[in-house]
Structure 1
Amino acid sequence: MVTAIHRPTWMSVNLDAATHNLQEIKKWTKADKVYAVLKADGYGLGAVQLAKAFQETAAADAFVVSNLDEALELRRAGLILPIWVLGAWDYSDLTLFVQNNIVITVPSLDWLMHLPALAGTLKISLAIDTGMTRIGFDDADQIAQAKKIIETNPRLELFSVYTHFATSDDASAHSKKYFDQQAVRWQQLVVNQGFDPKLFSMANSATSIWHNTDPRISFAAIRPGQLISGVNVSNGDLPMPQKLFLERVFAVYSQLADVRFVKKGQALSYGATETMPEDGYVATMPFGYNDGWLRRMQGSSVIIEGKRMPILGRITMDQTMVKLDKKYPIGTRATLIGKDGKEQITAEEVAHYSHTIVDEIQTTLAPRIKRIYTGDLAEIIGANNG
């Protein structure tokens, strides 16, 4: 998709704030290493730009992505830190993993036992399934067999032994119980296997925030992802700790492209689902569901000159209409996510309104929205500002 550099809808991304957050999370958890999770293009913020900022400041020790193509993008951009691909992967691209020094995830004993001969060193991460039930080892004997295979194969280098908690961002009694069960399961499966504890990686964003003092959790290498954005990754189900000082990293803006006087009772947008409640002004802005501002956001609001203005009518593919309190000049800025004066619309608010989570809101914001990078680091790393 072409980035619409000439279209007045944009996302502002503060690289200094993102780096601060990563450093603050490390301090909060007392982690030895930080593996910054930059999958889905850095949760929509720009994986390459974030990675360059984190490498420049030594805020990250490695990068974690979801697939090989994301990893190769970072390598081609000149990133030299370790890069780890999560998820199961077949054997067809092993040469690319080896040649580009990219860590592959081992999902099962069967995968490891049938591994083809390697022409170089393959770095691997051992997935442990403690209850997520996606991929990974869930049998202690098979983990022991895997460890022996790794230790006897000079072409294999163990990068990490990790697990993922399914309910670390939930406050319910059921979720707390399930988190405890996963922590116990880790102890049963891994702790007595003789692995170097420095290789353990157990804490994702939510585990890093709300379980940072749990003695059962290793913080040898944490994996913050969505948390880098400074949002509440539980969607507000759990309160953010008062002493964890994170900054908001991104905001989304547009401009008024058309302003017109509309009489009371006039239907608006597709389906004529709403009519103008009174005589007044309506603005059209160049953003819609193809930008990630989904149709279910009808009835929500944007901020114009420090005041909330309601979205009227169905959100269309490329345009959205807003009821104004007065006539504003074309080109007036509207805030979709962010702060303007005393008013603020957070990603969490948008997620609540959409009946979803902040991850979906942030990663759904389309590539055609230009990203404008701010902060000192944007100048240092030469981030593209659209």
Structure 2
Amino acid sequence: MKSSPHRHTSAQVDLEAIKNNVQKFKQHIGSKPELWAVVKANAYGHGAVPVARAVKDLVAGFCVSNLDEAIELRQALLTQPILILSGIVPETIGIAANLNLTVTAPSLAWLKLVVQESIDFSRLKIHIAVDSGMGRIGVCDAQEANEMIALADQYGIEFEGIFTHFATADEADDQKFKAQQEKFAQIIEEISRRPRYVHSTNTAAALWHTEQVQDIERLGVSMYGLNPSGKVLNLPFEIEAALSLVSELTHVKKVTKGATLGYGATYEAEQETWIGTVSIGYADGWTREMQGFHVLVDGKFCEIVGRVSMDQMMIKLDQEYPLGTTVTLIGENQGKLITATDVAEWRKTINYEVLCLISDRVERVYL
């Protein structure tokens, strides 16, 4: 999808805020573990390459979701270690080896397919995934892990790491977290040898379970200034939200009492009302259920009225405003604030999803 810079709807990204958040995490977890920046899903909507370039001197490596995200970083001449967190298609393993990428080994069955490829395996590094209770990928016992280690050794593949992922580190109830922690620790005790990297801490674990941080801290959503628990748990230190979503008024009109607006005529004016049109819609990631929520204009909360369309939406104004007046969807406007978490609560989802859904059509502007 092509970015639309001429539309004056943009996601403004404060790279300095991201760098400050990384520095605060380094202070929080101490100097022993390496800090790897998670820039998957276009850096949670913030822009993978600009973010990676901004923090490259502050982190030891990067984590991405898939092979193509890793290729994007290498094409941007980023040379730090890159860990692909999901198992890649076995037939593409040669690309990963040639680009010096570290891949997740999700199972013995996957590794058996990988070693059938005709590549120089001495250039390949793997981290074995452990399913300690998340349920997505990974080995469930040390026996399978040991068979994978032996197979890697047979083909000259470097067994560089082993890791797991916590499902509930951002929740107040830590029963599930402790169970996963214990299972992972047991498997680490039983594997044939300890690799260079043993790691399990995502952002939430590093925030509220600092004692769990091992060789790598995988810093994700809070690098961008978001609380992974939403509003459930208080952060141990302050972080800065890095992204603001802004647009402007493209049309302003006064409608009469009884006028209906938008698809399905779901809004009817109760009295004569000023209505503004904003150039953003569900194709930009501002989804249809945002009807009834609000945005900020001139420091005032303005209700979104009528259904959100693919490319535009309408808002209820308190007065006439000139065309081009700033509309803030996420961020601060004259001392008032709408956060990604506020939007997430309205949508009954999480702040991660709100930012990841902002489409490529919305231009990213780096401050």
TM-score, reference length from structure 2: 0.95
The aligned counterpart of 2:75 is: 76
**Within the alignment, does 1:224 sit opposite 2:219 as a pair?**
yes
Tell me the alpha carbon deviations over residues 73-120 of structure 1, each in whole angstroms, 9 at most, x when there is no partner: 111111111111111223211110111111111111233344225324
Letter in 2 for 1:137: V
Alignment of 1:1-386 (within 5 A): 1-30=1-30, 32-55=33-56, 58-114=57-113, 115-116=115-116, 117-120=118-121, 121-154=123-156, 156-171=157-172, 173=173, 176-193=174-191, 195-196=193-194, 198-213=196-211, 217-241=212-236, 244-374=237-367
Secondary structure, counterpart of 2:283 in structure 1: helix
d(CA) in 1 for partners of 2:233, 2:189 = 29
Residues 280 and 113 (structure 1), Cα distance of their counterparts in 2 relative to 1, 3 Å cut: closer
Secondary structure, counterpart of 1:326 in structure 2: coil
Say if 1:227 and 1:233, in contact at 8 Å, map to a contact too. yes
Residues 94 and 197 (structure 1), Cα distance of their counterparts in 2 relative to 1, 3 Å cut: closer
Secondary structure, counterpart of 2:239 in structure 1: coil
Letter in 2 for 1:258: H
d(CA) in 1 for partners of 2:295, 2:233 = 26
Say if 2:267 and 2:305, in contact at 8 Å, map to a contact too. yes
Aligned residues: 363
d(CA) in 2 for partners of 1:249, 1:10 = 13
Q: Could you list the runs of 5+ residues in structure 1 that have no partner in the other structure?
A: 375-386
d(CA) in 1 for partners of 2:247, 2:110 = 48
d(CA) in 2 for partners of 1:345, 1:4 = 24
d(CA) in 2 for partners of 1:80, 1:197 = 22
Letter in 1 for 2:201: A
Letter in 2 for 1:236: K
Choose 188-197 or 5-14, whichever is displaced more. Answer: 188-197
Instruction: Calculate the aligned-residue CA RMSD, in Å.
Output: 1.5
d(CA) in 2 for partners of 1:272, 1:111 = 53
d(CA) in 2 for partners of 1:196, 1:20 = 33
Choose 282-291 or 193-202, whichever is displaced more. Answer: 193-202
Secondary structure, counterpart of 2:103 in structure 1: strand
Tell me the alpha carbon deviations over residues 176-228 of structure 1, each in whole angstroms, 9 at most, x when there is no partner: 21111101101211134354475011111111111113xxx233201111121
Say if 1:67 and 1:86, in contact at 8 Å, map to a contact too. yes
d(CA) in 1 for partners of 2:351, 2:214 = 25
Say if 1:29 and 1:219, in contact at 8 Å, map to a contact too. no
d(CA) in 2 for partners of 1:219, 1:5 = 43
d(CA) in 2 for partners of 1:290, 1:92 = 34
Say if 2:146 and 2:192, in contact at 8 Å, map to a contact too. no
Choose 82-91 or 258-267, whichever is displaced more. Answer: 82-91
Residues 98 and 197 (structure 1), Cα distance of their counterparts in 2 relative to 1, 3 Å cut: closer
Q: Could you list the runs of 5+ residues in structure 2 that have no partner in the other structure?
A: none
Say if 1:15 and 1:50, in contact at 8 Å, map to a contact too. yes
Letter in 2 for 1:186: F
CA displacement at 1:64 relative to structure 2: 0.8
d(CA) in 2 for partners of 1:293, 1:195 = 49
Say if 2:37 and 2:218, in contact at 8 Å, map to a contact too. yes
Residues 113 and 366 (structure 1), Cα distance of their counterparts in 2 relative to 1, 3 Å cut: closer
d(CA) in 1 for partners of 2:193, 2:343 = 43
Secondary structure, counterpart of 1:290 in structure 2: helix
Say if 1:254 and 1:287, in contact at 8 Å, map to a contact too. yes
Letter in 1 for 2:232: D
The aligned counterpart of 1:377 is: none
Tell me the alpha carbon deviations over residues 147-195 of structure 1, each in whole angstroms, 9 at most, x when there is no partner: 33334543x1233211000111122x4xx21111101101211134354
d(CA) in 1 for partners of 2:203, 2:314 = 36
Identity of counterpart residues, as a percentage? 37
Secondary structure, counterpart of 2:271 in structure 1: coil
d(CA) in 1 for partners of 2:89, 2:281 = 38
